[in-house]
């Protein structure tokens, strides 16, 4: 028995098509996709213009969300940024805002949340009158909340200093300002009373003057070492009482302003008794009749009411002892030291008893005055 090979018939073979793998979408699919994209674009335009109905808008929006979700999933996410610095530091106010130094140490209180963190620092800013804030210096934050920044430069006049924290996430807001005032000028100083070369009969005098407000004023009397210290008020006025001594008193006045700058002046005040003073002295006061004749010298010192020596006063000396005629000098004038001297001799023939030496002083300004001293003859 023979076997016949089985195969497709010629007719069937003529209708056979080779199966091929297509790399592109079918034409119909591509046309459909293009139509979908056009429809999506038109939908987006209508949604933007507000002309599309709620249903179409929802469909287009939903399709957009799907695309956005796919895009989000397909894009690699970026790492999150370091958070921005929020807390500002605090500048500690100075004990005294006034200084004449060209730099100062500034103390800053740092937020405790930044202690021990790497990459954080404090930045100091200064604002000068009629100027914008400018950076002064910067210091790294350490492990303590109190940060002292030394040698911060100061400009002449007012310096408003603020601080900020700078870190990987940016810079904080500026702290409230604290003020330093660099003053390098001498404080003004004037004496209101007494006038220079004034005279008084009192044992002390009240000195009044004006200087820079809140300055410290020192007074010293060079004649007796007396001193006084007083603070000027907010208007710069001051008053202090200082002791005087007889005669000329030179009072030194020194003012020191809050920044440490100083200025000084002086005035002369003369203290007197308030009246003309005449003082008579002799080279001897007793005599022995057996040892006569003996020389005698009389000296007078004339002091005015202001305590100053009186030049040009007229002095007339008289010596009277028992048994002799009175001895009278010629009229003599006092010198620059207010003194005049008369020399004479008590002759032989004087009798034992009490005598007297006198002087009459006449001045143009203060009138006359007399002084005397006792003489004894044994």
Let me know if the fold of 90-182 is the same as that of 189-271.
Answer: yes
Q: Report residue 56: phi and psi, to 5°.
A: -65, -40
Q: What DSSP letter does each residue of 138-177 carry, written as one string? A: EEE--SSSEEEEEEEE--SEEEEEEEEEEETTEE-PPPPP
Q: Domain ranges in the chain?
A: 90-182, 189-271, 277-377
- Cβ pair 110, 89 in contact under 8 A: yes
The pLDDT of residue 41 is: 53
Q: Which residues contact 371 (CB under 8 A, 6 or more apart)?
A: 278, 279, 280, 300, 358, 359, 361
Query: Residue 81, Cβ neighbours under 10 Å: how many?
Result: 9
Q: Which residues contact 20 (CB under 8 A, 6 or more apart)?
A: none
The pLDDT of residue 36 is: 57
The pLDDT of residue 233 is: 96
- Cβ pair 124, 149 in contact under 8 A: yes
> What's the rounded mean pLDDT across residues 152-177?
95
- Cβ pair 255, 262 in contact under 8 A: yes
Note the pTM of the prediction, 2 decimals: 0.55
Q: Give whole-number Cα distances, 302 to 314, 316, 332, in Å.
A: 10, 13, 12
Average pLDDT taken over every residue of the chain: 83
State the architecture of 277-377 in CATH terms: Sandwich (2.60)
- For the segment 23-78, what is each residue's pLDDT rounded down to a tens digit? 555 555 556 555 556 555 545 443 444 444 443 334 334 434 433 443 333 344 44
Q: Can you list the alpha helix ranges (DSSP code H) found in the chain?
A: 10-14, 27-49, 54-74
Pairwise CA distance, residues 95 & 102, whole Å: 17
Lowest mean pLDDT among 98-107, 182-191, 270-279, 326-335: 270-279
The pLDDT of residue 24 is: 53
**Distance, first Cα to last Cα, the chain:** 208
The pLDDT of residue 365 is: 84
- Cβ pair 90, 177 in contact under 8 A: no
The pLDDT of residue 39 is: 54
- For residues 28 and 169, the model is more confident at 169
Q: Report residue 189: phi and psi, to 5°.
A: -155, 125
What class is the 90-182 domain? mainly beta
Domain 189-271 part of CATH 2.60.40.10: yes
Tell me the pLDDT band of 339, cut-offs 50, 70 and 90.
Answer: very high
- For the segment 213-240, what is each residue's pLDDT rounded down to a tens digit? 999 999 999 999 999 999 999 999 999 9
User: Does 328 score more than 60 pLDDT?
Assistant: yes
Tell me what percent of the residues of the chain surpass a pLDDT of 70.
77
Residue with tokens 């008893």, as numbered in its chain: 353
- For the segment 126-163, what is each residue's pLDDT rounded down to a tens digit? 999 999 999 999 999 998 999 999 999 999 999 999 99
The pLDDT of residue 4 is: 42
> What's the rounded mean pLDDT across residues 319-329?
94
Pairwise CA distance, residues 291 & 293, whole Å: 6
Q: What is the DSSP letter of 114?
A: G
């Amino acid at each position: 028995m023979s076997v016949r090979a089985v195969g497709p018939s010629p007719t069937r073979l003529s209708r056979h098509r080779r199966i091929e793998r297509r790399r592109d979408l079918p034409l119909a699919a591509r046309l459909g996709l293009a139509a979908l994209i056009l429809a999506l674009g038109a939908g987006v335009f209508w949604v933007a213009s507000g002309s599309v109905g709620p249903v179409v808008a929802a469909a287009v929006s939903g399709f957009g969300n799907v695309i956005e979700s796919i895009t989000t999933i397909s894009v690699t996410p970026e790492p999150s940024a370091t958070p921005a610095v929020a807390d500002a530091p605090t500048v500690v106010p100075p004990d005294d805002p006034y200084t004449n130094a060209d730099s100062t140490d500034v103390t800053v209180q740092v937020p405790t949340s930044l202690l021990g963190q790497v990459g954080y620092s404090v930045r100091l800013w200064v604002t000068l009158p009629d100027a914008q804030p400018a950076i002064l210096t910067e210091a790294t934050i350490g492990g303590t909340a109190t940060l002292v920044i030394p040698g911060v430069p100061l400009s002449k006049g007012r310096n408003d200093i603020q601080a900020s924290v700078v870190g990987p996430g940016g810079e904080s807001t500026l702290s409230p300002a604290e003020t330093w005032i660099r003053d390098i000028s001498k404080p003004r100083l004037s004496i209101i009373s007494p006038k220079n070369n004034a005279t008084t009969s009192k044992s002390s005098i009240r000195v009044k003057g004006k200087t820079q407000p809140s300055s410290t004023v020192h007074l010293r009397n060079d004649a007796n070492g007396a001193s006084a210290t007083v603070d000027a008020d907010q208007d710069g006025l001051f008053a202090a009482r200082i002791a005087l001594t007889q005669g000329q008193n030179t009072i030194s006045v020194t003012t020191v302003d809050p920044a440490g700058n100083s200025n000084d002046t002086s005035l002369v005040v003369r203290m007197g008794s308030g009246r003309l003073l005449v003082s008579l002295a002799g080279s001897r006061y007793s005599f022995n009749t057996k040892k006569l004749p003996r020389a005698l010298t009389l000296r007078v010192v004339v002091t005015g009411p202001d305590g100053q020596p009186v030049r040009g006063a007229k002095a007339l000396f008289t010596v009277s002892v028992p048994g002799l005629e009175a001895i009278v000098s010629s009229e003599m004038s006092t010198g620059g030291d207010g003194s005049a001297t008369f020399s004479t001799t008590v002759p032989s023939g004087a009798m034992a008893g009490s005598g007297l030496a006198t002087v009459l002083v006449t001045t143009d300004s203060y009138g006359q005055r007399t002084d005397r001293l006792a003489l004894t003859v044994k």
